[in-house]
């Protein structure tokens, strides 16, 4: 299994030991160094949170990283890609929770684009329920193995720009309806006129959601 060993991080603003972890998963061709840019806007409200933004394990051209190659965009290929990339993230989460003596209840996972696919893939399948999942500008991949079986699933916030040319906003609506069918508590927001990015409203909603699920 590929191991995630590096990335960007921001220590708790409080200066103390982390009481929460916010895991930030970047998009295709990006990096943890880009994704960590979300953290400063959230730190004031989450002073005891450790922000971790690992680089995906595979390199792309141009110095970026990918969770898996996106040569094939069929639903089957996306589901297989997310499934194959999940063990590295799960192992990273296991290491970090153990390192800081924290549990899944102290963990929020935030993704952007391909990182959202991974946040949903990993976050919905952890043996113990994570606090919550935020997905920006992404989509839900295969759910055949996710049963509506009464086992607790984390709440999810999906945020998308209405003018996204990379991942159409229809992906938000499809993901929301499928998650609800599976018994997941979902909140969604569409940012009018926004492309493949996160606007200030989306950032604020993400912060409010993460604060709430972490009990802050």
Confidence band of 119 (pLDDT split at 50, 70, 90): very high
Please, what is the angle between helix 114-123 and helix 75-100, to 10°? 60
**Distance between CA atoms of 177 and 140, rounded to whole angstroms?**
10
Give the predicted TM-score (pTM) of the model: 0.96
Residue range 1-26, pLDDT digits in tens: 677 867 999 999 999 999 999 999 99
pLDDT at 126 (0 to 100): 94
pLDDT, tens only, 55-83: 999 999 788 999 998 888 888 888 999 99
At 130-161, the pLDDT tens digits run 999 999 999 999 888 887 666 789 999 999 99
Domain limits, the chain? 7-213
Q: What is the CATH number of domain 7-213?
A: 3.40.50.1820
Residue 112, sorted as left (phi over 0), alpha (psi -120 to 50) or beta, turns out to be beta
What 3-state class would DSSP assign to 85?
Answer: helix
């Amino acid at each position: 299994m590929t191991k995630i060993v590096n990335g960007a991080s921001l220590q708790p603003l409080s200066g103390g030991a982390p009481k929460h972890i916010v895991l930030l998963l970047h998009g295709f061709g990006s990096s943890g160094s880009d994704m960590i840019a979300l953290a400063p806007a959230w730190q004031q409200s989450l002073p005891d949170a450790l922000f971790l933004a690992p680089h995906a394990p595979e390199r792309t051209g141009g110095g970026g990283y990918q969770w898996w190659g996106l040569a094939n965009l069929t639903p089957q290929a996306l589901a297989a890609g997310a499934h194959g990339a999940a063990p590295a993230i799960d192992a990273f989460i296991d290491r970090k929770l153990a390192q800081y003596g924290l549990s899944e209840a102290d963990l929020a996972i935030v993704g952007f684009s391909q990182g959202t696919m991974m946040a949903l893939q990993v976050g919905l399948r952890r043996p113990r329920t994570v606090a919550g999942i935020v997905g920006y500008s992404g989509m839900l991949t295969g759910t055949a193995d996710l049963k509506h079986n009464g086992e607790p699933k984390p709440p999810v916030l999906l945020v998308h720009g209405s003018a996204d040319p990379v991942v159409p906003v229809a992906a938000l609506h499809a993901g929301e309806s499928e998650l609800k069918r599976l018994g997941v508590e979902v909140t969604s927001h569409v940012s009018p006129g926004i492309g493949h990015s996160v606007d200030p409203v989306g950032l604020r909603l993400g912060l409010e959601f993460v604060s709430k699920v972490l009990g802050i």
